[in-house]
A and B are shown apart, each in its own frame.
Chain A
């Protein structure tokens, strides 16, 4: 079997993490790759930079699909801390729940979490689109700079604290908004982009009018003594 270009199955029971990741990083790698028995391995499929279709059959540990470029990665299970952190492009889909800091600092691509995402989902996001099928934990979209975060369920405390230019759409309740995050009008262009995001994530049936948009009030973009209580 040519693991470079053939559709290939790797088994972490018989292969090491380094062997699997090296194979996924090999120059010229292509095709569909399946990874069996991940059993919570960390940094699995991290640093991929090729148009691969990767399916991980099971739960993964920290930083799965970290810094992904181009690949379409499906995790059939739950994901640990920092799934798809700093993703640049491509897509990552988690069929279960995701732990803290999902999509942290990601610059591009699409992250879909079908279940819930824990605290700090989308922290410091820099252009990625994140769609969460369930709810997100506290401090989600903290210092979020760019990109879109869609939550089909509820959001925890301090949503969007110190947010910059990320747009957040939440269908359910929000426990509280963080500093400088505010609800905003859903104009036609927002309904349109939300519909497109939901469709691309596999939720085309959602009614966009059930969502509320949140974003930056842009009151903390410059330090002034009058804002001291907000920091």
Chain B
């Protein structure tokens, strides 16, 4: 509130605040809905609402700098005896799927460099696999999306894992869109589309519709790759308990659950903020589904959506994740929304730290643009180093917490190590409210 408003005792409506009214005015003047990038911006129950208990009289901590705390993870072990090669990552933090098209080729290059430097994986996105990304990525997950843009069996065989994407946290049930400003000749060619058009990505796969069909689709992908490559199934967090069970029944090696804080390159604001559930609410559902099926640790669970630091990594893993994925945090590490471009952000009517118009292709940081000049602002080598630094830091942070809880491996963290600060987070995460043994709704199912 401005000083003048405060002085006059003015009271802003919580329902019709200035942001809400600005959107009403924008819609009234333009006649189109607001499209933006990023994930949910509203305050949601999140990892901040959880705390670790740490060691005490009844728990034995590990020494911070002397005693080992493992961080590696095997993904895709379910059918290893049948020839599927699990992916062995040094750290449990992976890079989420982001498309070439949404991101510049140099950004994809940097993501590959940073991930490879610390022994983790990166992931393609809508639009196919680029040479930059495959070349720089030691471990590369190839997304199999409804649009099948750039879908190529040679790339399937070149991948270290395949991720069948049913949805993403920012927009469960929604397809994608890449507006014409970003459809350059290279992007258009990779997607077999005319240059400069607003490009839609389908919300449903074109050749299967339900879980039974998915079983057969996974079988096809296994046959094409001769049963050598792990197959992930990614869902946007919504009916996560059931989706996880169905994905396991369909034959997934790994289930990826993306909460509503997970970002998109371009989607309607109303979709981002009002469809899907928070990451915190999704993880226990997926973990319980795996437990009930006897598949805990056999089918791995990767969680994404709002992972920012090592505490988030540790909390996600304590709730049942085998690994996490980061998207937004990785882009920030590369330089997205960096204050050094403050003037450029302001010139776009935004500000460093607020910019979310990734669909426009005008990103001053050069990360989410196809503009030839802006792209050059990102040095892939330097960006890769920053990302590697960040991944290293959040892994060490997670280790710090794991040691404090007496764990010799991050994966040994468990719900018992956590308490919740709020009733809501307690009910969602299924851990007790701090200072009590109470978990609201614990006796009920999903």
Q: Taking beta carbons and an 8 Å cutoff, which residues of A are in contact with B?
A: 17-18, 21-22, 25, 42-43, 46-47, 49, 61-63, 66-67, 69, 81-82, 85-86, 88, 100-101, 104-105, 107, 120, 123-124, 126-127, 142-143, 145-146, 162, 164-165, 221-225
Contact = CB atoms under 8 A, between A and B. Distances in A.
Given A42-B216, A124-B206, A146-B192, A162 B226 contact: no
B192 A126 contact: yes
Interface size class of B (residues with CB under 8 A): 20 to 34
Contacts of A123: 206-207
A157 B151 CA distance: 28
Given A86-B151, A145-B192, A164-B194, A25 B226 contact: yes
Contact of A145 (B30, B31, B193, B217): B193
A105 to B, nearest CB: 4
Contact of B202 (A49, A61, A88, A124): A124
Contact of A46 (B151, B192, B197, B224): B224
Contact of B198 (A85, A221, A225): A221
B32 A225 contact: yes
Interface string B23-62: 0000000111000000000000000000000000000000
Given A123-B207, A124-B206, A86 B197 contact: no
B193 A164 contact: yes
A158 to B, nearest CB: 14
Given A81-B207, A146-B192, A124 B148 contact: yes
A162 B175 CA distance: 14
A120 B206 contact: yes
A62 B221 CA distance: 12
B353 interface: no
Interface of B: 30-32, 147-148, 151-154, 156, 179-180, 191-194, 197-198, 200, 202, 206-208, 213, 216-217, 219-220, 223-227
Interface of B is mostly: loop
Nearest to B27: A225
Given A88-B152, A221-B180, 4 more contacts: A21-B226, A104-B206, A107-B192, A145-B191
**Most chain B Cβ neighbours within 10 Å, of A69, A82, A224:** A82
Contact of A101 (B197, B202, B207, B225): B207
A62 B224 contact: no
A127 B206 contact: no
29 contacts: A47-B223, A47-B225, A61-B216, A62-B208, A62-B217, A63-B216, A66-B220, A66-B224, A69-B153, A81-B207, A82-B207, A85-B206, A86-B151, A86-B153, A100-B207, A104-B206, A104-B207, A107-B151, A123-B207, A124-B147, A126-B192, A142-B206, A143-B202, A145-B193, A164-B197, A165-B193, A221-B180, A222-B197, A225-B32
A21 B197 CA distance: 40
B200 A47 contact: no
Nearest to B31: A225
A120 B193 CA distance: 19
B140 to A, nearest CB: 19
A62 B153 contact: no
B23 to A, nearest CB: 16
A160 to B, nearest CB: 15
A184 B252 CA distance: 45
Contacts of A67: 153, 156, 224
Nearest to A82: B207
Contacts of B147: 124
Nearest to A127: B192
Nearest to A45: B223
Nearest to A61: B216
Contacts of B226: 21-22, 25, 47
Contact of B207 (A25, A63, A127): A63
Given A81-B207, A127-B192, A165-B194, A42 B151 contact: no
Contacts of A86: 148, 151, 153
A46 B217 CA distance: 11
B345 to A, nearest CB: 25
A43 B206 CA distance: 16
Nearest to B82: A18
Contact of B216 (A43, A104, A221): A43
A17 B312 CA distance: 44
A223 B193 contact: no
Nearest to A85: B207
A25 B222 CA distance: 13
Contact of A221 (B30, B154, B194, B223): B194
A60 to B, nearest CB: 12
A162 B147 CA distance: 13
B148 A49 contact: no
B223 A46 contact: yes
Contacts of B225: 47
A104 B202 CA distance: 13
B343 to A, nearest CB: 30
